[in-house]
Amino acid sequence: MGRWEPDAESRFRAAAIELFGEVGYDQTTVAAIAERAGLTARTFFRYFADKREVLFNGSERLQQTMVDALARASAEASAVDAIAAALASAGDFFDDDRRAFARLRSSVIAANADLRERELIKMATLSAALAQALQDRGVSQPDASLAAEAGVAVFRVAFVQWVSESERRDYVEIVNESLARLRTLVTG
């Protein structure tokens, strides 16, 4: 690592998301991101492999947080209660300070087919990891996959609501409500 830059990662992230919104994702270069951030491209590559990673470099940490929360759920917790704990644990990532970034990120991804694919892969990977974590708790198949897929369905829908312009409730409240709604739908 070279010279220490205060808060370089978040400066790159803010600069990149601004530029993606202003000139488009495809048209934004790492050089332009670095210039906007007042840093160098060389420093950029200490934090991100490429510009796409600005949007996705939190995925692994998010997944690990959810898998850890699932594993820590009490032994008596049902598969869906363990999934609910995993979904709620993501609240540490999706606090109100992140909402403005998450909104911009969602609109950038919605506008770009490659990024939408990357997001789908991320969700499929998350679903597989949660299913495996449920199996590690002794939940058999196909229940582990069903509960994990349903959990990711709830997560997707809750996340879309959380980043919608008019939404003010926090992520955990929304995700818990989504899970309750799924329960009502499936049993109603």
Q: Name the token pair of 52.
A: 């796409």
Largest CA distance in the chain: 60
Preceding omega of 142 cis (within 30 degrees of 0): yes
- Asked if residue 154 binds a copy of itself (CB under 8 A), the reply is yes
Question: DSSP code of 116?
Answer: H
The string of DSSP letters for 53-113 reads: HHHHTTHHHHHHHHHHHHHHS-TT--HHHHHHHHHHHGGGTS-HHHHHHHHHHHHHHHT-H
Question: Which of 31, 49 has the CB closer to a copy of itself?
Answer: 49
Rounded least distance, CB 122 to a copy of itself, Å: 10
Rounded least distance, CB 148 to a copy of itself, Å: 9
Footprint (CB under 8 A) of a copy of itself, residues 59-88? 78-80
- Asked if residue 110 binds a copy of itself (CB under 8 A), the reply is no
Contact indicator for 170, 96 with CB cutoff of 8 Å: yes
Question: Which of 37, 147 has the CB closer to a copy of itself?
Answer: 147
**Residue 145 φ/ψ, nearest 5 degrees:** -70, -40
Which x/- pattern, by CB under 8 A, does the window 14-53 give for a copy of itself?
Answer: ----------------------------------------
- Footprint of a copy of itself (CB under 8 A): 78-80, 116-117, 120-121, 124, 142-143, 145-147, 149-150, 152-154, 156-158, 160-161, 178, 181-183, 185-188
